[in-house]
Amino acid sequence: MSSTPFDNRGNKDASIVNPHGQGTAIPVEAGGHARPAPGGPFLSGEAMTGGYGKNGPDILHNCSISVDRGEIAVIVGPNGAGKSTGMKALFGMLNLREGHVKLDGEDITELTPQARVVKGMGFVPQTQNIFTSMTVEENLEMGAFIRTDDITDTMEQVYELFPILGDKRNQPAGELSGGQRQQVAVGRALMTQPKVLMLDEPTAGVSPIVMDELFDRIIEVARTGLPVLMVEQNARQALEIADKGYVLVQGANAHTGTGQELLADPDVRASFLGG
Amino acid sequence: MDFLNAIVALSNFVLIPAMTYGSQLALGALGVTLIYGILRFSNFAHGDSMAFGAMATILVTWWFQSMGINLGPLPTALLALPFGILAMAAMMLATDRVVYRFYRRVKAKPIVLVMASLGVMFIMNGLVRFIIGPGEQRFADGARFIIKARDFKEWSGLKEGLVLKTSQGITVITAVIVVAALFWFLNRTRTGKSMRAFSDNEDLALLSGINPERVVMYTWLIVAALVTIAGVLYGLDKSFKPFTYFQLLLPIFASAIVGGLGNPLGAIAGGFVIAFSEVTVTYAWKKVAVYLLPESLEPSSLVQLLSTDYKFAVSFVILIVVLLFKPTGLFKGQSV
């Protein structure tokens, strides 16, 4: 970043600048419109090419990801493969140079992230995915920010799915444990009653027991018919529950298939699943 | 009796003025802390924004006065205040559009915005002097006192008369109302919560469908109201002079930092800490001492620790002392 004229210039004085919580995404600018694009899967990124910033190098190269109704699609791949970037691209958190994003028969490539939320997309980022200074309940309320109808029913459903959150509803989310935070994060995304749920490594940094439970909850959510698109480090466990799997390498599709196919594929096994 | 006299003298010269000054600082510091928390930079143009808002209100006040509109015992400026706020809001939104929005778009680091605000400060400063002049302006009218010294003396039979100026009463009452309204807004309303969410985590706010530009707009509108109210109250209480307002930046920043930047509660506490220490240290305590001490110990000097010329130094000494022991301020702020 030191090459840009707008960097920090060596300043470390937090009494004049507030480094806390500043956004890093340069999202799609406002003013774009959705265009009808009938057919195809429910949510799909087609031949996406792009990277961060105006002149940043391309991270995604002709990458395609899709998920259809009632499916769990999983993206796996080595570190730096562009898994998270692919998710952000689907959500409009970065500008695509080429390719399209389609949702429910519409081309939404030009829509801002907040417009995509209104269209029914829910996204749980990998890190900093809760409002730490706000209570659990306020986190859920913010999740439902775009809704103008009564949200109490949805909130009760989230508390039913994650009972621990109900007990801690008035506690600041920043005081919760790692697993509970992830539950808040998923709950926040569910509050919009999304038509598709995108999870970026929901099990990062939680203990194996909590991880199993989170996977169970995610399957439970997917069984209601909500399409789930997920990035996972625990490739084997994730592919086992996946209807569709994508293996990304250096920002491009390396292998695609059903979860079972990928688990059986000797190439995939050798390179990503440890034999 | 002497003890009561001492208390009255203390109220006249320390408690009431410090309370008033503290309220003004708190309102100013609230604005600083909101911008720091949500827009993530320290707004150096804050003092001069106060001057601009106050100037707009004064112009409308003069216009009302020339038409014979007044509020009876209350200052006409209160009637002109909403218009001043509107003018300030328009000015702030325009500034944001012309200056700050560009830096937000390119994700400039906050230090760049601090420097931009310094430029805005100079322009605002020049603009105010150009329009209303660099001199002192008076615009207070209505009844001058709520409690007059003579009335109080007759009523209580004390030697010392309690004085409460209308401007002091209005300042404290307005500050209480404004602070209560602001806290209610930030903690109870959907828009207020979305501002806190944006302050907490900008990217996640975007993912929740919160429109960042909308949050920024609301912030400027609230800050416009806060600075105008603070500026007008200060002008009513003391007098309006652009340079004084520019200087106010120092104790206001000290208040916000002492309290804990980014924490609204801290801004209020900080305002009162700074105001009380400034007034206490620069007050000539002789009068109170004469009432309290036996004749043999009566002080011959004024018992003034520091000349009022040094009052800004006081705020900074307090600032340094607090930061030495609590680096994030009295209340937990966001700065480290």
pLDDT in tens, B216-263: 999 999 999 999 999 999 999 999 999 999 999 999 999 999 998 888
- Residue A148: count of CB within 10 angstroms of its CB: 8
Q: Are the C-beta atoms of residues A185 and A130 closer than 8 Å to each other?
A: yes
Q: What is the pLDDT of residue B336?
A: 44
**Residue B274: which domain range?**
2-325
H-only helix segments in chain A:
83-91, 113-119, 136-143, 152-161, 163-167, 178-190, 208-223, 235-241, 259-264, 266-272
Q: What is the pLDDT of residue A3?
A: 56
**CA-based torsion, B282, B283, B284, B285: positive or negative:** negative
Q: Which two tokens stand for residue A108?
A: 């939404």
Q: Touching check for B203 and chain A: CB below 8 Å?
A: yes
In the predicted model, is pLDDT for residue A19 greater than 60? yes
Stretch (H or E) spanning A46: strand A43-50
Residues in chain A: 275
Q: Say if A10 falls within a structural domain.
A: no
- Nearest 5°: phi and psi at A85? -60, -40
A2 — pLDDT class (breaks 50, 70, 90): very low
Q: What is the pLDDT of residue A275?
A: 61
Amino acid at A164: I
Of A274, A255, A264, A267, the closest CA to residue A74 belongs to A255
> DSSP letters along B64-83, please?
HHHHT--BTTB-THHHHHHH
Q: Shortest CB distance from A118 goes to which of B103, B209, B261?
A: B209
CATH for A243: 3.40.50.300
How far apart CA B165 and CA B142 sit, in angstroms, is 11
Choose from A3, A11, A13, A16 for mutation: most chain B CBs within 10 A. Answer: A16
**Looking at residues A32-52, what average pLDDT do you find?**
90
Which residues partner with A50 through β-bridges? A60, A96
How far apart CA A270 and CA A124 sit, in angstroms, is 30
Of B31, B28, B40, B42, the closest CA to residue B199 belongs to B40
**Count of alpha carbons within 13 angstroms of residue A197, beta-carbon side:** 29
DSSP conformation class of B59: H
A17 — pLDDT class (breaks 50, 70, 90): confident
pTM of the model: 0.91
ipTM at complex level: 0.89
Q: Say if B305 falls within a structural domain.
A: yes
Contact assignment for A11 to B109 by CB distance below 8 Å: yes
A1 — pLDDT class (breaks 50, 70, 90): very low
In the predicted model, is pLDDT for residue A256 greater than 90? yes
Choose from A26, A95, A114 for mutation: most chain B CBs within 10 A. Answer: A114
pLDDT tens-digit series, residues A189-218: 999 999 999 999 988 888 888 888 888 888
Q: Say if A217 falls within a structural domain.
A: no
Triad B89, B95, B96: Cα angle to 5°:
90
Chain B positions in Cβ-Cβ contact with residue A117 (cut-off 8 Å): 207-209
Least confident range of B46-60, B129-143, B304-318: B304-318
Residue in the block written with tokens 């975007």: B206
Of A205, A214, A212, A209, the closest CA to residue A184 belongs to A214
In the predicted model, is pLDDT for residue B285 greater than 70? yes
**CA distances in angstroms from B20 to A157, B16, B141, B184, listed in the order given:** 50, 6, 18, 23
Q: Say if A87 falls within a structural domain.
A: yes
Of B258, B204, B260, B256, the closest CA to residue B230 belongs to B256
Q: Say if A63 falls within a structural domain.
A: yes
pLDDT tens-digit series, residues A136-152: 999 999 999 999 999 99
Chain B positions in Cβ-Cβ contact with residue A189 (cut-off 8 Å): 207
B334 — pLDDT class (breaks 50, 70, 90): low
Q: Shortest CB distance from B109 goes to which of A6, A134, A146?
A: A6
- Nearest 5°: phi and psi at B177? -60, -45
Chain B positions in Cβ-Cβ contact with residue A123 (cut-off 8 Å): 207
Number of domains chain B is built from: 1
Q: Say if A67 falls within a structural domain.
A: yes
Q: Say if A213 falls within a structural domain.
A: no
Q: Are the C-beta atoms of residues A197 and A190 closer than 8 Å to each other?
A: yes
Of A91, A40, A88, the closest CA to residue A60 belongs to A88
Average pLDDT along chain A: 89
Number of domains chain A is built from: 1
Contact assignment for A117 to B207 by CB distance below 8 Å: yes
pLDDT tens-digit series, residues A47-78: 999 988 777 889 999 999 999 988 999 999 88
CATH for B219: 1.10.3470
Q: Say if B336 falls within a structural domain.
A: no
Q: Which two tokens stand for residue B80?
A: 């002109």
Residue A165: burial class (beta carbons within 10 Å; 0-12, 13-18, 19+): buried
**Residue A45: which domain range?**
30-120+239-267
Q: What is the pLDDT of residue B297?
A: 83
pLDDT tens-digit series, residues A177-190: 988 999 999 999 99
pLDDT tens-digit series, residues B18-44: 999 999 999 999 999 999 999 999 999
Average pLDDT along chain B: 92
Q: Shortest CB distance from A134 goes to which of B106, B200, B210?
A: B200
Q: Say if A81 falls within a structural domain.
A: yes
With CA atoms as reference, the chain A residue closest to B255 would be A15
Q: Shortest CB distance from B114 goes to which of A16, A141, A143?
A: A16
Chain A positions in Cβ-Cβ contact with residue B112 (cut-off 8 Å): 6, 9
> DSSP letters along A222-275, please?
HHTT--EEEE-S-HHHHHHH-SEEEEEETTEEEEEE-HHHHHH-HHHHHHHS--
Q: Say if B14 falls within a structural domain.
A: yes
Region of residue B105 (left: phi > 0; alpha: psi -120 to 50; beta: else): alpha
Q: Touching check for B212 and chain A: CB below 8 Å?
A: yes
